[in-house]
Amino acid sequence: MYRFLLLVLALLLLGGCSSAPQFSRQDLMHHHWVLDRLDDELIELPARNRPDFEIGEHFTVNGIAGCNRYFGQGHLKGDRLKVSNLGSTSMACPPPLDTIEQAVLDTLQQGATLTGDTQRLILQGKRHRLEYKLRDWVY
């Protein structure tokens, strides 16, 4: 009986260590995020047409990847975000926007783990880490 109680207690403690997803669909929807860092490097671009990220009604995703606009259908499973049916305009991007754009589109398509807080959203993909700052249109 003593061993059984210890086993139950250990399972309860281990169950308490697992964490629930940090972001819900409602937390992410209807916000405007601006890319601040790519792979821990500060993005230094003019404020106009800066790479950004938004999730709208029905969890649709859109924004500017570098110099092209993108759009798709977001999916949130636990702490993983993935965008399916990703499409974009197709203008040629000069450096460094071309590198930024490819990193953003690859990360969204392949899926990323979400972390952050109310002011910062971090998407950690297989190859890239995208850090966005909250810049809602209405304050």
Counting beta carbons within 10 angstroms of the beta carbon of residue 92, is it exposed (0 to 12), middle (13 to 18) or buried (19 or more)? exposed
Distances (CA, A) of 67 to 21, 50, 91, 94: 32, 8, 7, 8
Q: Output the pLDDT for position 14.
A: 43
Is the per-residue pLDDT at 138 higher than 50?
yes
Report the pLDDT averaged over residues 34-52: 91
Q: Output the pLDDT for position 139.
A: 57
Report the pLDDT averaged over residues 95-114: 97
Q: For 69-78, which contacts have Cβ atoms below 8 Å and span 24 or more sequence positions?
A: 70/104, 70/105, 70/108, 72/108, 74/28, 76/21, 76/23, 76/24, 76/25, 76/28, 76/114, 78/21
Q: Is 58 left (phi over 0), alpha (psi -120 to 50) or beta?
A: left
User: Within 13 Å, how many C-alpha atoms sit on residue 16's CB side?
Assistant: 6
Is the per-residue pLDDT at 7 higher than 90?
no
Report the pLDDT averaged over residues 42-46: 89
Report the pLDDT averaged over residues 96-116: 97
Q: Output the pLDDT for position 1.
A: 55
∠ CA(110), CA(111), CA(112), 5° rounding?
130
Q: Output the pLDDT for position 57.
A: 93
Residue-wise pLDDT for 119-133, tens only, equals 999 999 999 999 999
Q: Which residues are bridge partners to 77 per DSSP?
A: 80
Please give the DSSP secondary-structure letter assigned to residue 95: T
Report the pLDDT averaged over residues 16-25: 65
Q: pLDDT over 70 for what percent of the chain? A: 84
Least confident of 2-6, 15-19, 20-24, 107-111: 2-6
Structure tokens belonging to residue 79: 């702490």
